[in-house]
Structure formats: structure tokens, C-alpha cells
Homo-oligomer: A and B are copies of this chain.
Amino acid sequence: MCDTTISPFLPIAIIATGKALPAIKLTSTELDARFKKPAGWAQKHSGIEYRHHARADERQSTLAAQALRDALDRGNVNPDSIDLLLSASGVQEQALPCTAALVLGQAGLRPGTPGFDINATCLGFLAALRVAASLLNTSSYRRIAIVASDLASRGIDWDDTESSLIFGDGAAAAIVERGDGARGIEGYRLNTWPEGATYCEIRAGGTRRTPRTGAEPSDFLFHMEGRRVLRLGTVATDDLLAGLFKETGLSFNDMDVVVPHQPSPLGMRYLAERVPDDRIVNIYATHGNQVAASIPTALHEAFVTGRAQPGRRLMLIGTAGGISVGALILKL
């Protein structure tokens, strides 16, 4: 084992990406009607043209498996060659077992393939990619699949106009290998600020609020203090980027492509003020905020549109419930 702290560069190569969207395409025009508002109201307030929502009979793990199959197909990757599945979701499919166990079989991976979940709320894919890189460099795993999925629509509080307009469902996946050593992670930071732990939450679903302990239907819905998230997220991202750019000697100018989480128009303003528009992958208007699925869905978009190219430098960046902020710089 060598001491890798001399060079922070950590080899990893993304060999394929994929995505999946559920059945219902919900336009903002339809939401105007639902909320009895004039035409254009929902689009103006959400910045979204349409988002996809799952039907009641659609399962999160099925959508995740579709995204993973899409990545396998696009990359012509044999499912039997996957050594590990990492699943990332802001909200799991069910309290137990982990969502990875529910995805594995549906995705057609070899029985016995290990799987577990990594949960960093909206930054789960980013954390999982960093973990995968470490595992690929220090284990016998040769090829790891990462899949992120969320059905945010299940937790929408339709009485809360602000948050009900912005969410879309979806799943996306990436297949990664160690690669040839030239491609990899040039920098990574994740910071969690627990003073904001209650700013984004669904209070039920775990051990805290259950029907037995008096959970109300509203406890199963998503609650957000949008302004506080924005304020803390901005300060925390400033701090994180200052450290990351100092450590790596890089700046936004060195990023060919920036793949952000897609929280809301206000939430994306931070980047718009610092990075030229043509370098930002913005899929918000046609996807909405897909929680943990946003970053890998936007990453997939970067690949299929040819913006992510070998040799280019790409940044993943976002804010998550926690409150966590994170960024990862990748040499493709």
C-alpha cells in the first residue's frame, strides 16, 4: 500500500451513463389548471416547463434498474461484470432493506453481487462516486455501478405552492472503473452543517415518527425552509470552494463543464453568477429537482450531448438536505 496523500489525484473513469424517467409527463400548464391559476403561472414560479412523476404503481427500484440497464446497454457492458452496486437516494423505497437490494435483481445483475446504499441526501451520487474511486483503487472490485433514484412526487405537499412545483422523479446511473490512471478525481470536498438539519426534511419514514408514535400524514411530506437553505448553502459553498480551489490550484475558469444539482431557479443562481452559462449543464426546466437523481441525470446529459469528453475537466457540485454542500472535480 502506498501513501496516496502525496498526490490527491485518484484514478477513476466513467465508462457509461444512463437514465430513466417515469410514465407521467406533468406540464406546468396542467399545474396552472390544478391550482386554478392563470396560464404561465406555474412555469413562472417554478422555472419548469415539465417534469416527470411516477404513477402510483411505479416503483423507485424499478426506475433505478431501468436507468442502470440503460447505462449497461449504452456502454455495451455485461451485467455480470459489475462487482458492486452503490445505490443513492434522498428517500429510500422502503424503510428496510436498503434500496440497492431491491435494484440488484431487477437490473439483472449476477446474483450475489454486493449492493448497499450511500445516503448524502441530494449529494448521494457525488459521495458514492468518491467512495467508488477509493474502492476501485484499494480492492479487487474492477467495475462498480452507481445508481441514484428518487420519487420526490410521493412526498410533495400540494398545499405548499413553493415546494410542490419544483420536484420531478427520475433515476440515473454511471458505470465506473479505475481506468488507465490518467482520468480521475482531482479534488473533492463534502461538508455538512447540522445547524440546517431541519431546513429540508421528511420527519416520518424512520424511527422518529411512526403511526404508533402519533405521526400525522403531513409528517410524510417534504418540508423545506427555502430561504434558510439558500442562505446557509451560499455561505457553505463559498467556504467549500475556497478550500477546494486553494488545495487544487484550480478555479471555475479551469472547468470545461459544471454539472450542478438542480434544486430551483434561485438555487442555481449561485453558479449562474460565477460560471459562464454555456459551461453549466442545466436540465431543470425539463426535469425539475430530482433530489439525488439530479446530478447523475445532468451528468448523463453532459455525456450524451458530447459536452463531457475525454480530457475535459468536469465539476459536480450541489447543496443537499443536512445541510451538506459538496463538489468533485473530475478529469474525464
**With a CB–CB cut-off of 8 A, which chain B residues contact A193?**
111-112
Nearest CB of chain B from residue A23's CB, rounded to whole Å: 15
Q: Which residue of B lies closest to A117 (CB)?
A: B119
Cβ contact of A213, chosen from B104, B112, B154, B195, cutoff 8 A: B154
Contact A208 B60 (CB under 8 A): yes
The stretch of A1-9, A30-38, A259-267 that contacts the partner chain: A1-9
Oligomeric state, in copies: 2
Cβ contact of A191, chosen from B113, B239, B320, cutoff 8 A: B113
Contact A201 B134 (CB under 8 A): no
* A140 close to chain B: CB less than 8 A: yes
* A148 close to chain B: CB less than 8 A: no
* A194 close to chain B: CB less than 8 A: yes
The stretch of A92-100, A282-290, A305-313 that contacts the partner chain: A92-100
Contact A220-B211, Cβ < 8 Å, known A94-B202, A97-B321: yes
**With a CB–CB cut-off of 8 A, which chain B residues contact A50?**
none
Contact A195-B111, Cβ < 8 Å, known A5-B140, A59-B208, A207-B60: yes
How many interface residues does A have (CB within 8 Å)?
A: 90
Contact A98 B120 (CB under 8 A): yes
Distance, CA A11 to CA B114, complexed state (A)? 22
Quick one: CB contact mask for A113-126 with B, threshold 8 Å, 1 for yes?
11111111101100
Nearest CB of chain B from residue A116's CB, rounded to whole Å: 4
- Say whether chain A's binding surface is mostly helix, strand, loop, or mixed: mixed
**With a CB–CB cut-off of 8 A, which chain B residues contact A191?**
112-114
Distance, CA A231 to CA B118, complexed state (A)? 28
Nearest CB of chain B from residue A80's CB, rounded to whole Å: 14
* A204 close to chain B: CB less than 8 A: yes
Cβ contact of A206, chosen from B1, B200, B205, B208, cutoff 8 A: B205
Q: Which residue of B lies closest to A6 (CB)?
A: B1
Contact A131 B135 (CB under 8 A): yes
Contact B7 A205 (CB under 8 A): no
Nearest CB of chain B from residue A228's CB, rounded to whole Å: 14
* A137 close to chain B: CB less than 8 A: yes
**With a CB–CB cut-off of 8 A, which chain B residues contact A208?**
59-60, 93-94
In A117-168, the 8 Å CB interface with B consists of: 117-121, 123-124, 127, 130-131, 133-135, 137-140, 150-151, 154-155
Q: Which residue of B lies closest to A184 (CB)?
A: B1
Distance, CA A7 to CA B213, complexed state (A)? 51
Q: Which residue of B lies closest to A321 (CB)?
A: B97
Nearest CB of chain B from residue A159's CB, rounded to whole Å: 13
Contact B11 A202 (CB under 8 A): no
> Which of A4, A209, A321 is the most central at the interface, judged by chain B CB atoms within 10 Å of its CB?
A4
Distance, CA A135 to CA B118, complexed state (A)? 14
Q: Which residue of B lies closest to A97 (CB)?
A: B321
A-B contact pairs, 9 of them (CB 8 A): A1-B11, A10-B139, A90-B96, A91-B206, A98-B321, A101-B324, A114-B189, A117-B120, A205-B206
Excluding A92-B92, A97-B320, 5 further A-B contacts by CB distance (< 8 Å) are A95-B202, A97-B321, A98-B120, A104-B197, A112-B193
